[in-house]
Amino acid sequence: MPDNPSQNRFQAAYEGKPSWDLGRPQPSFVEVADQITGAVLDLGCGTGDNALFFARRGQSVVGIDFVEFPIMEARRKAEELGVDAQFLQMDALKLPSLVVQRNKTDLLSQGWFG
């Protein structure tokens, strides 16, 4: 059960197909993919299309989302594709609790920064 109104909004969006769930990586990330060279932290990863795109390129990937359903779907896709990517259900506003032990991490978020 969602803990707050924002989580309720995202939970409701996944009762259908959210407009941001394209079923493929966002074109803006594909365009700059060669510039993203470190491990990838995908905030609001949804069903994982962006994260999985980078995982298939061999990059270490962690995707997080607020809502359980898209995380379950992202994990299913990763298994189906045979790629190694970690997907966690958590609040992106609580990132300090996520320890990323990498030399460099690139941050992805289609909507996080507006």
- The pLDDT of residue 112 is 47
Answer yes or no: is pLDDT of 114 > 60. Answer: no
106, 40 Cβ separation under 8 angstroms: yes
Output the CA–CA distances (angstroms, integers) from residue 83 to 14, 15, 53, 66, 76, in the order listed: 24, 27, 10, 22, 10
pLDDT score for 49: 95
- Give the rounded percent of residues in the chain with a pLDDT score beyond 70: 78
Tell me the C-alpha to C-alpha distance, in Å, between residue 28 and each of 11, 31, 71, 95, 107. Answer: 25, 5, 22, 24, 13
CA distances from 94 to 33, 37, 99 (A): 27, 25, 11
Local confidence band at 106 (pLDDT 50, 70, 90 cut-offs): low
Neighbours of 45 (CB within 10 A): 27
Q: What is the pLDDT of residues 46-92, one digit of tens each?
A: 999 999 999 999 999 999 998 899 999 999 999 999 999 999 998 87
Q: 0.95 exceeded by the pTM?
A: no
Residue 101 scores a pLDDT above 60? no
**Mind listing the pLDDT tens digit for each residue in 24-43?**
898 888 999 999 888 898 98
